[in-house]
Amino acid sequence: MGVITSGHTMTDIRDDLAITLGVEEELFLVDPGSRDLLRNPDAGIFETCQQTCGPHKVVGEFLRCQIETNTQVCHSVAEVRKALQETRAIVIDAAEQHDARIMASSTHPFAPWEAQQISPGKRYQRFLNSLQDNVRHFVSNGMHIHAGFGNPDTRIRVMTALRRYLPLLHALSTSSPFNSGRDTKFKSYRLSLIRALPRTGIPNPYYSRADYDRMMAAHQGRHFIQDSSELWWDIRPSHTFPTIELRICDVCTRIEDGVSIAALYACLIRYLMRRDAMGILPPEPFTELIEEDRWIAQRDGISAAFGHQHGDGGRLKCAPSCSSSPVILPP
């Protein structure tokens, strides 16, 4: 697998292997004294962010206690690191100016979900009407990594081939063991909260953009969704950009962890793009087996021992998987 180093751009090797990255982080706004979630944060936080965000973007989220950062398009891992440093600094500075603090975790340790307020807007109100109490329980943040590469068919095939790696990518990010004052005994309770919503989890395999578009047309024809942004899978084609959006990860408490996951994601994509160009993508495992590894990842985090891909009854530990590329990558 070709390694993308921190100083090497991902768009200057070969045009057909070029990759761009962008990272979205959902963060909590908390009280500086109690560290409880702010139910009604000062709107000036967002106004200040709009004045200082430069090439990046800062927006609200479903709950008023949340704030989301979107980096500019990045062409190297070094640019991803710099962008995340900048976006976190933007929201930290704005929050401090308005008597608030930023918390980077996917669940809050003790804040009650019943106390949180929904952000204004027709879209959020429609979600509340449709998803009812399940979405009110969803006091949770994620990190979403967009990767731009290839043509529409290539992106769909590589997205399908990436499914087997989603449990590993998630295990590396887990940051949500606590919820509503309880130690849940999961490293990522966030995925349990997500499971209460429709159209979540590991997507089925698709092998062309036409396959995906037929599925989308079927959903829209039955009035289940308005557009593809309402598919909340662990990985999906972006509704807005020509990217594949990795969505399974918890938001990382440390910037370097997020950068490392983005780098691994880019390496896996480049490896799979090469295999796709040669027509030798590996056969797809059953979705149900990936779901089993997903469960292990959310429970055990980096201590996870995944089912061995060769089906010999052995276990594959997460930590060695990350340090040895032959273990990560199937033969």
* Cβ neighbour number for residue 241 with a 10 Å cutoff: 14
pTM, whole model, 2 decimals?
A: 0.92
Domain count within the chain: 1
**Looking at residue 9, what is its pLDDT?**
64
Position 299: which residue type? R
Bridge pairing between strands 200-201 and 232-233: parallel
- Which range of residues forms the domain containing residue 251? 15-322
pLDDT at 5: 45
The answer to whether position 289 is within a domain reads yes
Confidence at residue 330, expressed as pLDDT on a 0 to 100 scale? 43
- Pull the structure tokens for residue 125: 């109100």
**What is the reported pLDDT for 327?**
41
Domain annotation covers residue 331: no
Residue 1 falls within a domain, yes or no?
A: no
Q: Which structure tokens are listed for 150?
A: 């290839």
* Residue 231 domain flag: yes
Separation CA 286–CA 156 (nearest Å): 17
**Amino acid found at 117:** Q
DSSP-based three-state secondary structure for 56:
coil
Question: Which H/E stretch holds residue 148?
Answer: strand 143-148
DSSP code of residue 234: S
Residues 200-222 as b or e (16 or more Cβ within 10 Å = b): bbbbebbeebebbeeebeebeee
Burial class from Cβ neighbours inside 10 Å (0-12, 13-18, 19+) for residue 128 reads middle
SS3 percent helix, strand, coil of the chain, rounded to 5, is: 45, 20, 40
7, part of any domain: no
The C-alpha atoms of residue 167 and residue 117 are separated, in whole angstroms, by: 32
Instruction: Supply angle C-alpha 6, 141, 154, rounded to 5.
Output: 55
The verdict on residue 43 lying in a domain is: yes
Residue 316 CB neighbours (<10 A): 17
Cβ neighbours of 115 (radius 10 Å): 11
- Report the CATH number at residue 285: 3.30.590.20
Which H or E element spans position 70?
A: strand 66-70
User: What CA–CA distance (Å, rounded) separates 238 from 147?
Assistant: 9
Q: Which residues contact 329 (CB under 8 A, 6 or more apart)?
A: 1, 271
Instruction: Answer whether residue 284 is part of any domain.
Output: yes
- Position 16 scores a pLDDT of 78
Sites in the chain below the pLDDT cut of 50: 1-6, 325-331
Q: What is the pLDDT of residue 4?
A: 44
CA distances from 98 to 46, 48, 49 (A): 10, 9, 11
Please enumerate in sequence order all residues whose Cβ is within 8 A of that of 205, keeping only pairs 6 or more positions apart, or say none: 160, 163, 284, 287
Instruction: Kindly report, residue by residue over 110-128, the tens digit of the pLDDT.
Output: 999 999 988 888 888 888 8
pLDDT tens digits along 17-75: 899 999 999 999 999 999 999 999 999 999 999 999 999 999 999 999 999 999 999 99
Q: How many CB atoms lie within 10 A of CB 4?
A: 22
- Residue 174 and residue 28: Cα distance in Å, rounded? 16
